[in-house]
Structure 1
């Protein structure tokens, strides 16, 4: 990075942070209809910010729910085009009483900025905009062509982005995808993510009697749906942490020796136990912690409910019971195939006296990019230059479904270069973003664009 760009970022840091505070002050919660106008406000804020940065052809493009913001700068003739993806919607803030400051009144403390969306993903989207601004304001031109695609529905599963990308393939056509919506593996451990797990999410409903029953009058004579549900769920794991659904692991791509070595070297079990206040970790037998998180599939019960949940005791046999479940998938598991295996397992293990209903939710394919791809190398070189240490090349345990979408539909290799940390409470109270990574991340992003010019031209 040139001294002029570095000086620009330094000289404008306080202005940029004030602008970021303005962005974070907008409660753009996509899941709650009462915030629909806030979503529109955030979209308008972004379009103005993109224009001020020097981008062109800015559009707020409507979908069936929340808009997608598009912008570009396409004057680098013969040079690669980088498509930058991010999202401006955020998670709900509950429980509000757990926040130490107002979630939409950003505060800076101990070189961290606290607000909903600070880390996931508004802070990092903002960095992309300021990356472009810094280069254009100092150099007058970008080293490569750039397109932005920023959506407002990521936190609700991106239901309309799939159709948007399918219908706008020419508009979004590019050479590489850049996403900053992943995390670093630790402090001062800059990370290039080359793999994400997929997802298969569903709900189970077990229906018993037509209505709740008095447990004294009917107890012992009818099946209790809550009992049946716990029995059914117990058939899905063994005591070695393995999923016991027939065929669940059949398509799983083995972990390479090099990746296994990396997982063993980076797994910090004692630190993780301390961070989570646990006396032991748990997972699939035979794999180090990071291998289980990054490269092995899971089946997790996310919620159980049924019967009386109020204060005190109500002696009933509930008429129904429910469970919410998500599976994280790895290459080469197909969500639809896993769903079929799950349905077969649930139907064949269903206890007597109840009826089963399954509601299918989010499905996303896993994603893997070869980490010797030139774009990945460009990211690694940029991170090393800014952080002064060798970057880590890693998979991540979470799912960013749109990455696979852009790869499949547009044929784009993906560079997942995020600057958040797992400890930053995204999706939880007191979300925050370390400003050290805001500063170094901006430098890394600038260097990445120049590196892409050299690596892909």
Structure 2
């Protein structure tokens, strides 16, 4: 018994020593190629990539094709009904498995006046001296490094940073005398920030070319602790626009304020009827099919969230009562009012009864929630509130016929996906992370955001896991988006660990 115990202890010590050695080696290689990686990042983010301007995306497609091809990848354009996808492929001798890797290259729109620098497409290195972010010369990195410094630019984190990390790691492989023992297919999406409207049909059309054993999504921020993280799912998304009507034209509130029904009040009452005082959707059946087991709750509890810190960061004294914790809350479908519009406010405020009121709603989906079913439940609820649902602006006849009308415009973008922790990619990535960082990563059962991956999962029948690398406070989609240098270096290290982890 004593000898057996000694053997176990010695084996454990040997494993820990090997893991530490592997981590140090990867860290050293990532450090050696760090400046090379910064140059790739700065070159890529300097190319404007607003999804709304196809001419900008063409330059990004050209850069991507050129940079992958010079690294030995075969490129192919996959046509869609919009901006094409770009498929890059690299085969490995004697490989038995194929990994499909997803990035998106497009970015959110920018308002330069909201950025604290001349241009969102001119990357700027900054440090925080306690009173705010101050620009320092990029050349400073030639002789100095601080993991807390950041590079500010549109798409620095979402999602050009991860692309640059991957290319940097690929360039470092010869130094390690290693290469992947699996085939790699990289798919680049150029319309993700528009909701990838043409992706589902394109995946079905080109599924033979996209065939793989598993999929890695290189997008998104780490857990709020900024510890190494893997995410095993993401909510899907649907959107609804509701328009409630009042008088045909805005009317003087003195003359008609007690006479013409106000659509702003109408839509406020309609929206308020959809949720209770605790923030739960009150529409019967909305949460049907979602029952978290004790095992599932235990998985969620392993995520190192600090609930008080989250609420302090958000500046809220209470939370909605959908789930007992943050992690539980995102296991359910949401019904979020993302915008309201009616009349005028501020300096433009006018004493009128508005002619219409508009509510923009997004519905985040989970695997158990069928978007068509949720849409039907919401529509049925609206009808019970006395509204006639129409699909276009009302005619004069309809205005006289129906006391309450709402125009419905609904769109189902894509479904949710969720992969088990003990799936093949889950176990493989856990080994890679332990090699890189000496321990297993934080594992998120399902992230709250939405990424257009379910079309791949459904059409190709493969498991998918999201490899998240960027700092959680990166301001993605907002002014002053940034990538923390410590995360960028760790990202290169993460890519190296995955590329050198055997999948045979």
Q: Is the TM value for this pair above 0.5?
A: yes
1:290 shift after superposition = 2.2
Counterpart among 415, 438, 441 of residue 465 in structure 2: 415
The question of whether the paired residues in 1 share the 8 Å contact of 2:278 and 2:320 is answered with yes
* Structure 1 spans left out of the alignment, 5+ residues: none
Q: How does 1:46-65 map to 2 (within 5 A)?
A: 46-55=64-73, 57-65=74-82
The question of whether the paired residues in 1 share the 8 Å contact of 2:238 and 2:363 is answered with yes
Residue 21 of structure 1 aligns with which residue?
42
Counterpart among 113, 120, 126 of residue 103 in structure 1: 120
Counterpart among 379, 382, 393 of residue 346 in structure 1: 382
The question of whether the paired residues in 1 share the 8 Å contact of 2:197 and 2:413 is answered with no
1:8 shift after superposition = 5.2
| CA gap 1:202/1:275 in 2 versus in 1, 3 angstroms | same
- Hey, what's the Cα distance between the residues in 2 that align with 1:125 and 1:73? 16
Residue 360 of structure 2 aligns with which residue?
324
Normalised by the length of structure 2, the TM-score is 0.83
Counterpart among 298, 307, 310 of residue 269 in structure 1: 307
Spell out, residue by residue over 1:295-316, the C-alpha distance to the aligned partner (whole angstroms, 9 max, x if none): 1222110000011246243111
1:245 shift after superposition = 1.3
The question of whether the paired residues in 1 share the 8 Å contact of 2:230 and 2:441 is answered with yes
Residue 485 of structure 2 aligns with which residue?
435
Residue 381 of structure 1 aligns with which residue?
431
The question of whether the paired residues in 2 share the 8 Å contact of 1:202 and 1:359 is answered with yes
Q: How does 1:204-283 map to 2 (within 5 A)?
A: 204-252=242-290, 254-264=291-301, 266-276=304-314, 278-283=315-320
- Hey, what's the Cα distance between the residues in 2 that align with 1:275 and 1:108? 25
Spell out, residue by residue over 1:374-396, the C-alpha distance to the aligned partner (whole angstroms, 9 max, x if none): 21111122222222333111134
Residue 58 of structure 2 aligns with which residue?
40
1:87 shift after superposition = 0.4
Number of aligned residue pairs: 447
Residue 88 of structure 1 aligns with which residue?
105
Instruction: Indicate whether 1:304 and 2:340 are aligned.
Output: yes
The question of whether the paired residues in 2 share the 8 Å contact of 1:335 and 1:364 is answered with no
1:131 shift after superposition = 2.9
Farther off after superposition, 330-339 or 283-292: 283-292
Residue 177 of structure 1 aligns with which residue?
215
The question of whether the paired residues in 1 share the 8 Å contact of 2:418 and 2:446 is answered with no
- Hey, what's the Cα distance between the residues in 1 that align with 2:415 and 2:38? 36
The question of whether the paired residues in 1 share the 8 Å contact of 2:226 and 2:471 is answered with no
- Hey, what's the Cα distance between the residues in 1 that align with 2:298 and 2:376? 34
Spell out, residue by residue over 1:108-159, the C-alpha distance to the aligned partner (whole angstroms, 9 max, x if none): 2343221110111111122223333332575474321001100100000101
Q: Which of structures 1 and 2 has the bigger CA Rg?
A: 2
| CA gap 1:141/1:392 in 2 versus in 1, 3 angstroms | closer
Farther off after superposition, 254-263 or 166-175: 254-263
Counterpart among 53, 64, 88 of residue 71 in structure 1: 88
The question of whether the paired residues in 1 share the 8 Å contact of 2:287 and 2:332 is answered with no
1:175 shift after superposition = 0.6
Spell out, residue by residue over 1:36-69, the C-alpha distance to the aligned partner (whole angstroms, 9 max, x if none): 22211111111111122221x2134443332311
* Structure 2 spans left out of the alignment, 5+ residues: 1-21, 128-148, 388-401
Instruction: Indicate whether 1:390 and 2:440 are aligned.
Output: yes
The question of whether the paired residues in 1 share the 8 Å contact of 2:87 and 2:185 is answered with yes
